Amino acid sequence: MGMRVLVVEDDDAIAEPLLKGLAREGYTADRVATGAAALAAEPADVILLDLGLPDLDGYEVCRILRSRSEVPIIVITARGEETDRVTGLELGADDYLVKPFGFRELVARMRAVTRRSDVGKVSATPDITVNGTLEVDRRTRRARVGDHELTLTRKEFDLLALLATDPGALRTREEILEQVWDPHWYGPTKTLDVHMASLRRKLGDPTMVETVRGVGFRLRDDR
């Protein structure tokens, strides 16, 4: 696999078995125990970031890492509070896991976030979609509403780009998870709802993305 994983975890009891498990799966894993060391570490293909760090606030570490690069970040937290998860995702994390978690689930999540989103699967669609005041440019991965450029995480952009390929068309939850996350998604579908809530907030008009209860979502057709 040859994938480099940076494990940011100060608890030896968690970090050591995790490193052994990752090595068994063929990953090259480096471990650091502080936020400062995480920010100074060599580039990795995926970062597992524990929020409870001894020196810096884990959220701040997440925000700085994301501002520097697009490397996928999975936040690992002992805090099961919904607000903690939402904050992590809004700061640019791609996913979260709450301790204790199963190793198989972790590997599945890592596969999901490192698999580059295939929203480009819809390659017949033009690079730029305009829907009312919304403009989505897949080539530059930029989106704007009117004159306002949106600051979106990678997953938020992928969600919006998928919905924008066909405004008004209903996308099922399964279809979205398969295309934006992974065909073998084992995680809670709650992750989708958290990302969708954040995307709606950033769009500035929550009604732009319509929910079809129990089925999925669609982008309001403003063409």
Supply the DSSP string of 173-202, one letter for each residue: HHHHIIIII-TT--S-THHHHHHHHHHHHH
| Segment 44-73, tens digit of pLDDT | 989 999 988 999 988 899 989 988 888 889
Report the number of distinct structural domains present in the chain: 2
pLDDT greater at residue 122 or residue 139:
139
Same domain, 12 and 35: yes
Range of the domain at 211: 118-219
Same domain, 132 and 104: no
Burial of 14 (0-12, 13-18, 19+ CB in 10 A): middle
Same domain, 163 and 93: no
For residues 171-195, average pLDDT? 78
Same domain, 125 and 190: yes
Q: What is the CATH number of the domain that holds 203?
A: 1.10.10.10
Same domain, 39 and 138: no
Same domain, 94 and 69: yes
Same domain, 188 and 159: yes
Same domain, 150 and 69: no
Residues 74, 62: Cα–Cα separation, whole Å: 9
